Amino acid sequence: MVSIIDKLVFDLGGKTLVSLAPDNNTLCVANKNGLTKILKTNNPEEEPETLDSSKSVSSIRCYSNSNFLMTTMQGDALKYNIDSMQEELLARFALPLRDCCVIHSGKMGVFGGDDLELVLLELDDAAHKKHTVKIDEQISQISYNSQMNILAVSLINGKVQLFSLTSTSPNKVHELNDYIVANSYDDTHRDKILSNMMDDFDKDSDNDLDEAVDSSENNVNDPEFCAFNRICTRVAWHPKGLHFALPCSDDTVKVFTIKGYSLQKTLTLNYSAAKAHFVDLQFDPLRGTYIAAIDLNNKLTVWNWETSEVFYTKEFKRKLTNFTWKVQPDSKTLDIVLGTWSGSIVTVQNLAESVVSNVTEDSVNESSTKQGLFVDSDSDLENPEEDGEASKDEKLFSDIAQEANSEDVFTQNHDDNPSGLNEKRKYNFEDEEDFIDDDDGAGYTSGKKPHHDHPYSRTQKSHPLPTILANTAKFRYRPFSPAGTPFGFTDRRYLTMNEVGYVSTVKNSEQYSITVSFFDVGRFREYHFEDLFGYDLCFLNEKGTLFGQSKTGQIQYRPHDTINSNWTKIIPLKSGERLTSIAATPVRIVVGTSLGYFRSFNQFGVPFAIEKTSPIVALTAQDYRVFSVHYSQFHGLSYSLFEQSHSITKYYQRERPLPMSLPNVNPDLKQETNFDFYNFNPMGIKSLFFSSYGDPCIFGYDNTLLLLSKWRSFEESKWIPVLDSNMEIWKMSGGKETTDIHVWPLSLTYDTLNCILVKGKHIWPEFPLPLPSEMEIRMPVLVKSKLLEEKKALVNKKNEFEDNIEENEGEDDKEIPIPIPMAAEEEYLRSKVLSALLTDTLENDGELYGNENEVLAALNGAYDKALLRLFASACSDQNVEKALSLAHELKQDRALNAAAKISERAELTSLVKRINDVREARYEQQLNNV
């Protein structure tokens, strides 16, 4: 039964705002007179804590159980700690701040007001680093969708701008016009002269809104109190993040979907009394079934927005400021706590009941029938004799969600629950042997007590394997997408990322929400959709995105434009088989499985070819070319490279050894920082892709970029390490061994690796995604100890000529200089490799971008210049034989001429004669070729 409780919190009255902490118990109640009280709603008899806060509060936002933000009319952005009762000034602005919110799991705060800019402050940073975004108009209110990483900014001109926060730089993705009230705040109360004039005017024109309301309670003497300062324009977000509601100027609530930002439905009031603009609007925080609003007439209205019916209404005597939903300890009963302009709070108890993620068996079966999707449990796949039995007792979304949460889609086991209903899976990570399940009957876990007593397991004998095979048998095939990341300890992860953009997924209570974002926001538009199938495979290209579900075999291709329609296909899987990797180009779709089945389709899902290979663990594609990585416990890692077009089907490389190894991770070290990544990705391959000139590349756990050269020739092909990112970071950090900076690869453009520089304990990027960085490839030929010796000698030499040594204290943080001979050796080798790669491309594919010949000429020039530096060094050392060997490597005649001049200056006449002989021999050879 609904009950109303009115509680006086501040005896002096005044504007009072409320905000509830995530624990649904700690209620922060702020008063404009400079006090904030902390109430425990589950224990109302407890004496509240009181702390001094800023006056003229304009908004308050609790973002953890012990911290909240506050903005003021004076332009102060403040942070308060409830435990220590400390106030911290984050920033101060010249004009009033109107609203604030917290983004990225409490890492940053967003503030908006009259300064024509959106301000983002890093809350964890001691200096509170500031990021700003220019806005065309003054900001009225702001709100944040934590599920889809979208910030909604309401402006005083009636526009709502939506920004994507998936990267560190906010990106405007949409704008809604003419829905919310175009409302400017009335700040005359801040001017004493204007305030007195308005008070006299109000006394002459005072009338009551409702004659039934007691005048002593209805009148508000606060000069700030007026309709302009109460109207709500804030966007209300559904807890799943896929819908949002606007308090509209026609006194209705309009609900939109983020898919195309289209209007879903309009909620109206079902009473004939005078309507009024809204003061606050919010979805309930559990399932989002209800949406509540309060208006200028102090009427609370609650809708069941799914049915568009008014669920509850109540008009209050007190003037209301804002409200917050509260979930009772039973996790299903909902209350509403309202703030007032008289120092009180009003609680509407037992308003509604809701259930979190209570998906019944019937609804799952009905949904599965409609969607055509049946998710088998792992035990089904391990027990062919029981196919079709356990699926009746499994919950669709619970199965997928638990699978993604464990990051181990192939080693799950169900609880010993015969019904399988209303029970979550339980996992035992205490014993390292629980990491392995004998799902193929190989017998490598014969010494371990089984978790389940399956009928078929008693009839089969287990034969122990040799130790070396027992160790390799622990490998588990898992879904792999280029540059994909694990969930870690959050509810979101990146499915994939490359030079085009990135795809992220968020776990909700019953399904997933997927966002497709792009680096080139001028060319592409970010979009979102609700993922009902738990996709754990993804590949992004310039035309569309391919998704896959490893357990069910379902793939879905979604073009970025709206001209072509989406299509879905089910890949047939054998018992125990999983989709392990997928790839898509504008003309080809390829799919690989853990049993080695390779299937290709055209861009419309029509089957093109099928082939059986060694088990596939990773795929990437470019146009008609496919690069695949295989793993077998008997043959190790291998790779294949082939082309499938309408006119040609050709293998360039077929399951040749790949010079990589699996990460050597001790399963005992489960508390290790990056154990989650290697559990999620046992291959340790961070990404694989084709370079801009079509050469296969792979970036492994050793942070070295490998590039396949001469891949069109079976005899000449070779893997070349073109970049050791650990060495480059070491050089950039001044020779310091850093453990908190990592490289996450995206693509290779000519001689530059596009990557994400990750700072922190994890080797994978988290949210928000930092802006991409560039790292030029450098051949791994340098030795750290030699570089440190050269640096030390250089510093000592510099100190001999400088009296003030303190000026050189910062030298340790500067990038380590590379001695000229070492730099020349590296440049010579790099130019040689790049020249060979580009020459191979020109001879087989011709010019791709129109400037390849100019690039090749520049490479040849850099090649000869590097050799001439080495040649000059050899001449200075009087090493004639070394100098002559370098002269033979020079490509251009003018470079040989320069080498002769260098020899002449070094007074090496014999060397000059021999170089001239080389020039004459090359000239005669050219004449003979003509």
Pick left, alpha or beta for residue 666 (phi over 0 → left; psi -120 to 50 → alpha; otherwise beta): beta
In a domain, 805, yes or no: no
Report, as an integer, the average pLDDT of 464-479: 55
**What's the residue count for the chain?**
930
CATH of the domain at 597: 2.130.10.10
The least confident of 72-81, 269-278, 315-324, 388-397 is: 388-397
In a domain, 793, yes or no: yes
Q: How confident is the model at residue 304, as a pLDDT?
A: 94
710 and 822 share one domain: no
Report, as an integer, the average pLDDT of 384-411: 38
677 and 792 share one domain: no
Helix, strand, coil % in the chain, rounded to nearest 5: 20, 35, 45
Over the stretch 248-258, which tens digit does the pLDDT of each residue have? 999 999 999 98
CB within 8 Å of 878: residues ≥ 6 apart: 906, 908
Report, as an integer, the average pLDDT of 143-149: 92
Instruction: Please report which confidence band the pLDDT of residue 725 belongs to, taking 50, 70 and 90 as the band edges.
Output: very high
Q: Residue 713 above 60 pLDDT?
A: yes
Q: What is the mean pLDDT of the chain?
A: 83
Report, as an integer, the average pLDDT of 733-757: 93
201: enclosing H helix or E strand:
helix 192-204
Of 878, 863, 775, 770, the C-alpha closest to 825 is 863
Domain housing 545: 492-723
926: enclosing H helix or E strand:
helix 909-929
In a domain, 448, yes or no: no
In a domain, 535, yes or no: yes
Q: Which carries the bigger pLDDT value, residue 368 or residue 300?
A: 300
Single residue among 723, 744, 769 that ends a domain in this structure: 723
529 and 640 share one domain: yes
In a domain, 300, yes or no: no
Single residue among 702, 723, 744 that ends a domain in this structure: 723
Over the stretch 775-796, which tens digit does the pLDDT of each residue have? 999 999 999 999 988 888 888 8
Instruction: Please report which confidence band the pLDDT of residue 68 belongs to, taking 50, 70 and 90 as the band edges.
Output: very high
Specify the number of domains making up the chain: 2
Q: What percent of the chain has pLDDT over 90?
A: 65
Q: How confident is the model at residue 154, as a pLDDT?
A: 97
Instruction: Please report which confidence band the pLDDT of residue 355 belongs to, taking 50, 70 and 90 as the band edges.
Output: low
- For the record, the structure tokens of 617 come out as 């663990």
Of 169, 148, 70, the C-alpha closest to 113 is 70
The least confident of 105-109, 115-119, 197-201 is: 197-201
Which amino acid is present at 160? Answer: V
Over the stretch 760-780, which tens digit does the pLDDT of each residue have? 889 999 988 999 999 999 999
Q: How confident is the model at residue 797, as a pLDDT?
A: 78
Locate tokens 């308003």: which residue? Answer: 351
Report, as an integer, the average pLDDT of 698-720: 96
Instruction: Please report which confidence band the pLDDT of residue 757 belongs to, taking 50, 70 and 90 as the band edges.
Output: very high
690 and 559 share one domain: yes
Report, as an integer, the average pLDDT of 628-656: 93
Over the stretch 421-463, which tens digit does the pLDDT of each residue have? 344 433 333 343 343 344 444 443 444 444 444 433 433 434 4
pTM tops 0.95 = no
- The 10 Å Cβ neighbour count of residue 626 is 23
State the Cα–Cα distance between residues 825 and 780, nearest whole angstrom.
Answer: 11
- For the record, the structure tokens of 167 come out as 């990267």
DSSP string, 462-506: --PPPHHHHHHTT-------TT----TTSSEEEEEE-SSEEEEEE
Over the stretch 169-224, which tens digit does the pLDDT of each residue have? 889 999 999 999 999 998 887 765 555 555 555 544 444 333 333 334 457 888 88
Single residue among 694, 723, 752 that ends a domain in this structure: 723
Strand order in the sheet with 589-593: 579-584, 589-593, 597-601, 607-612
Q: How confident is the model at residue 368, as a pLDDT?
A: 35
Q: How confident is the model at residue 409, as a pLDDT?
A: 36
Helices marked H in 666-764 = 675-680, 725-732
State the Cα–Cα distance between residues 196 and 202, nearest whole angstrom.
Answer: 10
Which residues share a beta bridge with 81? 67, 86
698 and 847 share one domain: no
Over the stretch 839-858, which tens digit does the pLDDT of each residue have? 999 999 999 999 999 999 99
State the Cα–Cα distance between residues 170 and 149, nearest whole angstrom.
Answer: 10
In a domain, 541, yes or no: yes
Q: Residue 825 above 90 pLDDT?
A: yes
Of 856, 890, 893, 891, the C-alpha closest to 870 is 890
Which amino acid is present at 400? Answer: I
CB within 8 Å of 194: residues ≥ 6 apart: 188
- For the record, the structure tokens of 345 come out as 């709070």
In a domain, 497, yes or no: yes
Q: How confident is the model at residue 490, as a pLDDT?
A: 86
717 and 856 share one domain: no
607 and 701 share one domain: yes
Q: Residue 398 above 90 pLDDT?
A: no
Q: Residue 573 above 50 pLDDT?
A: yes
655 and 536 share one domain: yes
690 and 838 share one domain: no
559 and 683 share one domain: yes
Helix, coil or strand: residue 770: coil
Of 483, 411, 917, the C-alpha closest to 697 is 483
Q: How confident is the model at residue 927, as a pLDDT?
A: 87
- For the record, the structure tokens of 236 come out as 């209300």
Q: How confident is the model at residue 9, as a pLDDT?
A: 94
In a domain, 558, yes or no: yes
| CA dihedral over 541, 700, 728, 723, signed as positive or negative | negative
Which amino acid is present at 502? Answer: Y
